[in-house]
Amino acid sequence: MPGLSRLVMQVLVVVLSGLTGAANAQDTPTPFSATYHLRLDGWPDADVDHRLSHLSTNDWQSEMRASILTAEGYERGKFRLQEEDVQAWHYASGYSLFGLGERYYLSARDLADLPDRQSALFQLSRKLDDAPCQDDKATPCELAYADHKGRTEHFAYRVAAPQTLEVPAGAFEARWVDGWNPEKPNRRLRLAFSSTTPGLLISVEYYRDGELTSRMVLTELQRDEKR
């Protein structure tokens, strides 16, 4: 899979897997538009756009887009909030490189048992306070999600204590999630989620064989309080 596909579909969202159970205090979503600056080994720096949109009474959409020179990629998931649950019902993603690429789609039927990665990003961000794996010595939490082709993927992670992070967009209360694919333990992903805005990432770090190969930080944020 070309490098930009990894950018949008691996580095940013490989950890975005589904969780079930009670949500924390972040019960009321807020639509937002965010921009991140991404540094990825082997590619020029790029900006990534991330938008959480309110579609209707209970329906929402999370979307990410990025472009570098002649390559571009996107990923979006639509989901329905049902009290404490997030039910994914549509997913689309794709990439192009020099005009060639692939497109992927998942229907509500495909997502009946597992959420797509974008819907799962939102659900994961609402669950952190209740996760039993709250420090680096705790037994890892385990979860599963559907990748862009609908295949089941597994992920292990731990949740760090809340802290204030300083990024170009300002100071944010956040919690780090440290995760890895049990089949690829040499690849680690650290995501800092906002403690107050469900679905919003503050920072992302991707490690391979202990070396930091990608880093993304929040540079701009606009919240739509009116919804």
Per the structure, how many domains does the chain have?
A: 1
Residue type for position 155:
F
Q: What is the pLDDT of residue 13?
A: 41
Q: Which of 73, 27, 221 is nearest to 63 (CA)?
A: 73
Rounded Cα–Cα distance for residues 108 and 118 (Å)? 14
Rounded Cα–Cα distance for residues 36 and 62 (Å)? 15
For the cut 90, the answer to whether the pLDDT of residue 123 exceeds it is: no
What CATH number is given to the structural domain containing 33?
Answer: 2.50.20
- Two tokens, residue 111: 């997502």
Q: What is the pLDDT of residue 225?
A: 61
Dihedral (CA of 78, 82, 84, 88) sign: negative
Return the C-alpha torsion angle 119, 121, 127, 133, nearest 10: 130
**pLDDT per residue over 125-158, tens digit each?**
887 888 899 888 899 998 778 888 999 988 889 9
**pLDDT per residue over 190-199, tens digit each?**
989 998 888 8
**Structural domain span for residue 100:** 3-223
CA 70, 74, 76 angle in degrees (round to 5)?
170
For the cut 70, the answer to whether the pLDDT of residue 91 exceeds it is: yes
For the chain, the first-to-last Cα distance in angstroms comes to: 37
**pLDDT per residue over 23-41, tens digit each?**
333 456 889 999 999 887 7
The better pLDDT of the pair 156, 124 is held by 156
Q: What is the pLDDT of residue 180?
A: 87
CB within 8 Å of 211: residues ≥ 6 apart = none
pTM for the full predicted model: 0.84
The better pLDDT of the pair 100, 146 is held by 146
DSSP string, 39-91: EETTS--EEEEEEEEE-SSSEEEEEEEEEETTEEEEEEEEEEEETTEEEEEEE
